[in-house]
Structures are given as C-alpha cells and as structure tokens.
C-alpha cells in the first residue's frame, strides 16, 4: 500500500465537506445520502475498514444483520470513527485474515461495534474527553486535538496506556468527515484496541516460570487451583462444553504434550471493573466472552516465540509474557498444561501499533 494514499484522497473528502455548506447542493446531497455503512462502502479511502464489516456477512458480500440492519436503520443516528486505508499498512496480512475468519467472528463484531457511537456528534460534542460510550459498550475519550483514547482509567495497567489514534484534520483544521443519511463518519488514522485498555497490560519480566506437574487433566487444574477461583465457576456457567474439552485426551501423545490453556487467574479478574461479574454472564456478552476465554487454548512447543491459539492467532511469548499478560505459573497435567496469566488475553495485542 502506498504510504501516500491517504494524502491522495484528502482533496476529494474536502470537496464533499465544502459542498455541504452550499444550500442547494446540500439539499441535493441530502437526498442522495446513504446510511452510514453504505457511505463507508462508497468512500474509497475506507475500503479496507468497510471490508471488515462486509466480512461479517460471509459470502454475501454485505455486512451481516447484526451490523447491516442495525446501522442502516434510518430512525437512529450514528457517528462512525473509521480508520483510513493507511491505518492498515503496517498490520500483518495473516493477522487481518485471522481477524476476519469465521472462528473470530465474535471478536470482530465486538471490535466493529466499538467504532460506532449511538448519536450523530459534531466535533465539539465529542471533545474534550467526555466519556462517550460506543454501541459495543466500551468508552472513548476524544481530546480537542483529535487524539482518541479508549477506556481511560478503567483498569490498572502496569504499562501506561497511550492514545491509540487521531481524528484526521484537513489543512484548514477541520475534521475530515463524510456525511451519511443517518449519521456522520470521521476519518481516523489508526485502528483502536479497546481490549488492551479494558484488560490492561502486565509489565514484561524475564523467562517463563518453571513447569510443575500433576496427574489428571487441565479441567482438574481449572477446578482445583486456588488462583483460578474466578475463572472456573464463570466457565462452568457460560461455557461448560469448553470445560469438558479441557478434560479430554488426544489419542496423539504429541498433541497432549503441546496443548496449553492460558487461563486468566484471579489477579486478571481483580483489575477488571467490578461490573464484569454481571456483564460477563449477560447474554449480550456471551459470544465475545466465550471467545476471549477460549482464545488461550492452543499449542506450544517449548522455546517457541508463539502459542498458536486454536482460533488461528499467534499469542506472542516474550519476556515472561503471553501477549499482554504475565505468565504467573505453569502446571502440566496428562492432557496438556495450564498457564496462569495475570490478565485476560488481548488477541489484538500489538497488532495495531
């Protein structure tokens, strides 16, 4: 992707913006405006971001009903923060493929719902730092210089959380916007990761902790370990099939040796907002939460730089951490190992920076 592609589209967007200030053109444009996702689809600079929405509809080529019907609704107004194509230049294609694959659907859906605010907002209504809640439930703070943070102050992160993206401005200092029939799109310069600011990030350490062994299965460790007292009942309640999977053996001994489950320990729950207990079990969060908790199940070969998550992502193992989480303890049973981790894992960790 050419680094200059954002610059090329700026004049086009500026023209759109200017034209809306002329009444007769404005009226004509109003009549032609599309709903918010259709508008994103017709904006060349948003083709990559729009393709994420379209991927939720599988082979249909249009967004799935969870997004399409919702955001095409003319009786609601929306503000979409849409990363320009340039925002994807440094993101690995393999990662983008994993993110838009079928097993990651709930993750992508959660992510996309958190780029949309459920009102049409002018810039001065969004700034500064007003604590805006996205349709997906995470929080935004937008400063008057256009810098965007998510979930500020929500978690105790050992690594400071920096601003994640900026609203793009034109030469006259006005935000680049695209009007829609039921809202407005603001062009931003990077992808946002509202998970890292919700789960937090542990400080890097040294090596992975040593392995201890016990007979039985990973499910036994989950149920008995004194530092898994938050995770164990939550999984039994929202995802009993997954707990059952942790009790099964493979007929292939190599698979049993490579299998790991990275399990958020009680420490990972303590840094979350207190409302997590009820929200984690609410039906609307079910899909995303089961995905996020199943994300840590994968395969690992001692010394490798990655755990390969069964959902198709690489979990980076570096300086005693798995993605954003410190590995606190490793306990191996007969069908695999449980690694206690100090945070809920962020599948998007490091992908957008």
Contact flag: residue 313 with ligand NAG (CB under 6 A): yes
Near ligand NAG in 76-105, by CB under 6 A: 92, 94-95, 98
- In the bound state with ligand NAG, the residue whose beta carbon lies nearer, of 185 and 292, is 292
Strands annotated E in 221-269? 259-264
Q: Shortest Cβ contact with ligand NAG: which residue?
A: 94
What Å distances lie between residue 157 and 13, 163, 236, 269, CA to CA?
Answer: 38, 14, 28, 13
Question: How many Å apart are CA 125 and CA 165, to the nearest integer?
Answer: 18
Question: How many Å apart are CA 165 and CA 188, to the nearest integer?
Answer: 7
CB of 315 to ligand NAG, least distance (A): 10
Residue 344: closest CA among 269, 234, 237? 269
Inter-residue contact 211 to 340 (CB < 8 Å): no
CB of 105 to ligand NAG, least distance (A): 16
Inter-residue contact 115 to 134 (CB < 8 Å): yes
CB of 309 to ligand NAG, least distance (A): 9
Candidate list 62, 306, 334, 350; residue touching ligand NAG; CB under 6 A: 306
Beta bridge partners of 316: 306
- What is the biggest distance separating any 2 CA atoms in the chain, rounded to whole angstroms? 77
CB of 318 to ligand NAG, least distance (A): 13
Candidate list 127, 289, 314, 335; residue touching ligand NAG; CB under 6 A: 314
**Looking at 51-59, 222-230, 265-273, 309-317, which segment touches ligand NAG (CB under 6 A)?**
309-317
- In the bound state with ligand NAG, the residue whose beta carbon lies nearer, of 40 and 351, is 351
Residue 198: closest CA among 111, 282, 71, 94? 111
CB of 96 to ligand NAG, least distance (A): 9
Question: How many Å apart are CA 196 and CA 139, to the nearest integer?
Answer: 12
- Lookup result for tokens 């007969």: 334
Contact flag: residue 250 with ligand NAG (CB under 6 A): no
**Looking at 120-128, 177-185, 276-284, 308-316, which segment touches ligand NAG (CB under 6 A)?**
308-316
Site of interaction with ligand NAG (CB under 6 A): 92, 94-95, 98, 306, 312-314
């Amino acid at each position: 992707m050419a680094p200059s592609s954002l610059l090329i589209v700026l004049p086009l967007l500026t023209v759109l913006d200017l034209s809306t200030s002329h009444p007769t053109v404005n009226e004509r444009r109003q009549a032609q405006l599309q709903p918010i996702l259709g508008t994103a689809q017709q904006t060349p600079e948003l083709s990559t971001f729009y393709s994420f929405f379209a991927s939720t509809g599988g082979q249909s080529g249009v967004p799935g009903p969870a997004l399409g019907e919702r955001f095409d609704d003319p009786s609601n107004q929306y503000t979409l923060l849409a990363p320009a194509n340039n925002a994807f230049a440094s993101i690995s294609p393999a990662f983008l493929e994993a993110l838009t694959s079928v097993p990651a659907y709930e993750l992508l859906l959660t992510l996309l719902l958190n780029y949309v605010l459920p009102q049409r907002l002018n810039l001065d209504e969004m700034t500064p730092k007003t604590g805006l809640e996205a349709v997906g439930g995470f929080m935004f703070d937008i400063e008057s210089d256009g810098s965007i943070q998510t979930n500020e102050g929500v978690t105790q992160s050992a690594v400071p959380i920096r601003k994640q993206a900026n609203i793009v401005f034109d030469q006259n200092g006005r935000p680049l916007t695209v009007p829609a029939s039921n809202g407005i799109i603001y062009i931003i310069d990077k992808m946002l990761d509202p998970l890292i600011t919700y789960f937090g990030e542990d400080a890097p350490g040294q090596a992975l902790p040593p392995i201890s062994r016990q007979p039985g299965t990973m499910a036994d460790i989950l149920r008995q370990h004194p530092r898994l007292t938050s995770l164990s009942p939550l999984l039994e309640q929202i995802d009993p099939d997954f707990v059952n999977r942790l009790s099964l053996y493979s007929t292939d001994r190599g698979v049993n040796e490579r299998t790991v489950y990275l399990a958020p320990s009680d420490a990972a729950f303590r840094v979350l907002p207190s409302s997590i207990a009820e929200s984690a079990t609410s039906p609307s969060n079910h899909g995303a939460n089961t995905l996020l908790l199943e994300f840590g199940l994968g395969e690992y070969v001692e010394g490798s730089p990655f755990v390969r998550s069964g959902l198709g992502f690489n979990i980076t193992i570096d300086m005693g951490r798995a993605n954003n989480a410190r590995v606190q303890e490793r306990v191996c049973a007969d069908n695999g190992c449980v690694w206690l981790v100090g945070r809920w894992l962020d599948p998007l960790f490091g992908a957008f920076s």
